[in-house]
Amino acid sequence: MNTTILRKTALGIAGLAFTGGILAGPTTHAHATTPTAGTTTVQADKSAKDKLIPHGVQGEQSRIDLDDEQTANVKAIIAATKKTGMDERAAVVSIATALQESKLENLGHLGDRNDHDSQGLFQQRPSSGWGTVEQITDPEYATTAFLKGLKQVDGWQDMPLTKAAQTVQVSAYPDHYAQWEQQAADLVTQHWNS
């Protein structure tokens, strides 16, 4: 078996592989092959990446290791995204936003360290109309509320992630969402069909 086929098979088994924002795997085909079960082509990988990160990542990327609670919150965000009928890109925007706002931890009131009355995965504020404390600390409700706001942003699908997220969140640090795009895309790739 030649190296190109082995690499394609490895990518097929591992799923989409991204390293530092650059697609890993074969970039050219030594010769035409007929796809077999478990193979992934560069075109399919590029198409998936283009769907999840259509503008490419912007700036340096951050990454954190997730514990079981954070992983459960990723799955809850993905489930809520599917329930609203939105696609994987909406899940990427949501997860990147929650990574920036709470590191995917469902935060309650933090006392003096709180930003006003911000709580939950998206640091939504009851006083700003996002819902009650009970609602915004429910991952499904909080995600649905975020996505409702995202749907109201004309052309969000064509915006860089950080602009779409900022338009909904109105953060004091509007460019910080961009640093989580690669990890958010990787998490959607890993958990969308699980």
Residue 57 lies in a domain: no
Same domain, 44 and 82: no
Same domain, 42 and 82: no
So what's the pLDDT on residue 41? 41
Distances from the Cα of 69 to the Cα of 79, 165, 169, 180, angstroms: 15, 23, 23, 18
So what's the pLDDT on residue 33? 35
N- to C-terminal Cα distance for the chain? Answer: 31
Number of structural domains found in the chain: 2
Same domain, 47 and 74: no
DSSP string computed for the chain: --HHHHHHHHHHHH-S-EETTEE-S-SS-SS-----TT---HHHHHHHHHHHSTT---S--------HHHHHHHHHHHHHHHHTT--HHHHHHHHHHHHHHHTT--B---GGGSSTT-BBTTTB-GGGTS--HHHHTSHHHHHHHHHHHHHTSTTGGGS-HHHHHHHHH--SSTTGGGGGHHHHHHHHHHHTT-
So what's the pLDDT on residue 58? 84
So what's the pLDDT on residue 22? 30
Name the residue range of residue 100's domain: 68-191
So what's the pLDDT on residue 126? 86
So what's the pLDDT on residue 55? 79
Same domain, 169 and 143: yes
Same domain, 48 and 139: no
Residue 62 lies in a domain: no
Residue 38 lies in a domain: yes
Same domain, 104 and 42: no
Residues 15 and 193: their CA atoms lie apart, in Å, by: 11
Residue 8 lies in a domain: yes
Same domain, 41 and 129: no
So what's the pLDDT on residue 137? 92
Same domain, 20 and 114: no
Residue 45 lies in a domain: yes
pLDDT tens-digit profile, the chain (194 residues): 444 333 333 333 333 333 333 333 322 333 333 344 444 444 445 556 678 988 788 889 999 999 999 999 999 999 999 999 999 999 999 999 999 999 999 987 555 545 567 889 999 988 889 989 899 999 999 999 999 999 999 999 999 999 999 999 988 888 899 999 999 999 999 999 98
123-132: long-range pairs with CB below 8 Å, 24+: 123/169
